[in-house]
Amino acid sequence: MNIDNLIANVIRADIRADSAYVVPDASGYIKLDAMENPYALPEALRQELATRLADAVLNRYPVASYATLKQKVSAKLGIPAGYGVLLGNGSDELIQIVTTTVASQERRAVVLAPVPAFVMYARSAQFAGADFVGVPLKADFSLDLDAMLAAIAEHKPAVVFLAYPNNPTGNLFATDEVEAILRALGETGIAVLDEAYQPFARRTFMDRLGEFENLVVMRTVSKLGLAGIRLGYMTAAPKLLAEFEKVRPPYNVNVLTQVAAEFVLDHVEVLDAQAASINAERERLAVELAALPGVEVFPSAANFISLRVPDAAGVCAKLLSGKVLIKNLSKMHPSLANCIRVTVSTPEENSAFLNGLKAALASKQAAT
Ligand code: PMP
């Protein structure tokens, strides 16, 4: 048998043409490419967590209702009274659940997002068999509201994803423009406000759910300091959430995640304090970056900063040679030419990045 023939016969053409989502191996590097919280839990909490995990019931499936974890998420992470939560294996899975719920063979649904956006919106739409429409942001990365409204009128998207703040640009979209999109969608489409970076932005549409029945608010504990356990959550009008719930795989959140999240959320103030110090570092980093010649810094409400440099590929290569890993955004979208994204980390790691960047910029200047 020829395996290539088998693949050609069995695997979808668009998947065959695609390449897998690449995550670089970061061992030995200062890892500033994935918006992780650099801080570990304090030792005392780690010890107590170890005891809880040792008691986890691994031979049984998780309790299917996830009632305790949902209550904890609701109480500690600000879900309004009267609204339920749907849990995901990271918010990546929630994005997949949303796109799968709206797309079908009979009705080719449209998923729309301003671009550049988080890449999983387009990928999940494609995998679900939906059409993805990207509407370019303005040059300053604010929403192009006229273009968004025109695209909504033309394509009648079932879902609009709005990352709030946006990844990879870091900015918050204007509240009145998000409201205009929710109103324009009305009964024909939902807007998913992806608040992955809410621990840093401290802004939310959670309190607007009563006003907009087509609003879904999605979040994750990843950026807060728990990226390793893979837990996302979302909420919406109960009837709408119940439809998404039908698509969720029954035991999608594993027992170890459940136990760890229930425990750590009881100490969420520890993670909030870490987020606050990351925010303070973001401000320091932004000021220092803005002072560098040839560097354009974009305002960020998240735990990362995007900036434009004279030669993004050169800067990334130089940083990599100094064992600092950041993200080159240049190929993601034309508006991101020569842009790079750096996760805000500890003061020491941020300084390592700054020094590496300064050296890269200096060697570039010397070369020209
Ligand atoms: N949404 C946005 C805007 C993101 O940037 C990310 C991660 N980079 C995610 C969702 C996915 O987060 P997770 O799957 O870790 O919950």
Q: Is 165 in the pocket of ligand 1 (CB under 6 A)?
A: no
Number of other residues whose CB lies within 10 A of the CB of residue 355: 13
Judge contact between 195 and 164, C-beta under 8 A. yes
Number of other residues whose CB lies within 10 A of the CB of residue 364: 16
Q: pLDDT band for position 217 (50/70/90)? A: very high
Write b or e for each residue in 95-130: b if 16 or more Cβ atoms lie within 10 A of its Cβ, otherwise e.
Answer: bbbbbbbbbeeeeebbbbbbbbbbebbbbbbbbbeb
Q: Is 30 in the pocket of ligand 1 (CB under 6 A)?
A: no
Instruction: Flag whether pLDDT at 368 surpasses 60.
Output: no
Instruction: Flag whether pLDDT at 91 surpasses 80.
Output: yes
Judge contact between 268 and 116, C-beta under 8 A. no
Contacts of 306 (CB under 8 A, 6+ apart): 168, 169, 170, 298, 300, 329, 336, 339, 340, 341
Judge contact between 253 and 87, C-beta under 8 A. yes
Ligand 1 midpoint to CA 6 (Å): 34
Task: Please name the helix (run of DSSP H) or strand (run of DSSP E) that holds residue 16, with its range, or none.
Answer: helix 13-17
Ligand 1 pocket: which of 167, 327, 329, 332 to mutate (most atoms <8 Å of CB)? 167
Segment 280-336, tens digit of pLDDT: 999 999 999 999 999 999 999 999 999 999 999 999 999 999 999 999 999 999 999
- Closest C-alpha residue for ligand 1 atom 1: 196
Q: Is 220 in the pocket of ligand 1 (CB under 6 A)?
A: yes
What the block records as the tokens of 239 is 């009837």
Q: Is 225 in the pocket of ligand 1 (CB under 6 A)?
A: no
Name the percent of the chain lying above pLDDT 90: 94
Judge contact between 21 and 90, C-beta under 8 A. no
Segment 326-354, tens digit of pLDDT: 999 999 999 999 999 999 999 999 999 99
- Average pLDDT of the chain? 96
Q: Tell me what pLDDT residue 23 has.
A: 82
Ligand 1 pocket: which of 33, 91, 173 to mutate (most atoms <8 Å of CB)? 91
Least Cα distance to 341 among 293, 368, 309, 294 occurs for 309
Judge contact between 116 and 333, C-beta under 8 A. yes
Task: Please name the helix (run of DSSP H) or strand (run of DSSP E) that holds residue 133, with its range, or none.
Answer: strand 131-136
Contacts of 354 (CB under 8 A, 6+ apart): 285, 288, 289
CA-CA-CA-CA dihedral for 347, 40, 340, 23, to nearest 10? 150
Write b or e for each residue in 341-354: b if 16 or more Cβ atoms lie within 10 A of its Cβ, otherwise e.
Answer: bbbbbeeebbebbb
Ligand 1 midpoint to CA 363 (Å): 35
Judge contact between 191 and 182, C-beta under 8 A. yes
Ligand 1 pocket: which of 36, 118, 171, 224 to mutate (most atoms <8 Å of CB)? 118
Q: Taking phi first (over 0 means left), then psi (-120 to 50 degrees means alpha), and beta for anything else, what does residue 352 get?
A: alpha
State pTM to two decimals. Answer: 0.96
Ligand 1 midpoint to CA 151 (Å): 25
